[in-house]
Amino acid sequence: MKIHREGYSIIATALIIIAGLALANYYLYTVIEITWLFWLMNAVLFVFLVLVLQFFRVPNIQVNADTDTVLCPADGKVVAIEKVVESEYFQDERIQVSVFMSPLNVHANFNPIAGIVKYAKYHAGLFLVAWHPKSSTENERTTIVIEHANGQEVLFRQIAGAVARRICYYVEEGQTVKVGEEFGFIKFGSRVDILLPVSTQIDVKIGDVVKGRITKLGSLK
């Protein structure tokens, strides 16, 4: 387990705020001497710190996947599996698997397949709730495409939600990447869409709780 670098400044700020509130709480206790209130406030501050730390956690996971396996790029819940017409890159029909990430999930994102990054683009946009049907095309988002060794391409999008206001991605076009390597991070509640060839065998269903780098979404054929 490690803390993601995107959280360093936020955690430092949180520690300063918590320390200040803890001192204020101690001062209040010396004035009114209400023991239960003193410990309740300390407990609230501790829980807040734990929530901030767990949001930026990145578990140590050994990636183990077959060559044709498409791994889930994010922790969360599968909220949609449907055929859609992808209009930004492919201009054809694809199977879309959408994973909703709550604020309690790990928010680092990982490459679903190994290959060469063929396309990487950031889009400014709205901040509709992440499960809104139009969030895939109207929210702030990034679109990344990786070409597999067999020539097939997989597109995936980081999509900001109503709370998420910063999307980070670290890959560039032409870069060779490995399956399960981190490609980005989304702060707070959000969504990741994976668009697969229509021939892909899908191994998850709507409502499944999935884990990044662990859950097998399907197999390329």
Per-residue pLDDT of the chain (221 residues; tens, 9 = 90+): 899 888 899 899 999 999 999 999 999 999 988 999 999 999 999 999 998 898 889 988 888 878 889 999 999 999 999 999 999 999 999 999 999 998 889 989 999 999 999 999 998 866 565 555 555 666 788 999 999 999 999 999 998 865 555 788 999 999 999 999 999 998 766 889 999 999 999 999 999 999 999 999 999 97
Q: Which of 135, 190, 199, 219 is catalytic?
A: 190
190 is a catalytic site residue: yes
Same domain, 131 and 182: yes
Quick one: which of 148, 147, 150, 128 has its CA closest to 137? 128
Same domain, 52 and 89: no
What does the DSSP 8-state code read for residue 103?
T
Same domain, 100 and 161: yes
Q: Which domain holds residue 108?
A: 69-219
Whether the CB-CB separation of 126 and 138 falls below 8 Å is answered with yes
Same domain, 128 and 165: yes
Same domain, 20 and 123: no
Rounded to whole angstroms, the Cα distance separating 176 from 147 reads 9
Burial of residue 126, with CB atoms counted within 10 A of its CB: 0-12 exposed, 13-18 middle, 19 or more buried: middle
In a domain, 157, yes or no: yes
Same domain, 132 and 35: no
**CATH number where 164 lies:** 2.70.70.10
In a domain, 192, yes or no: yes
Rounded to whole angstroms, the Cα distance separating 123 from 18 reads 35
Same domain, 42 and 76: no
Quick one: which of 57, 171, 152, 62 has its CA closest to 113? 152
pLDDT at 140: 84
In a domain, 64, yes or no: no
Considering its fold, how many domains does the chain have in total? 2
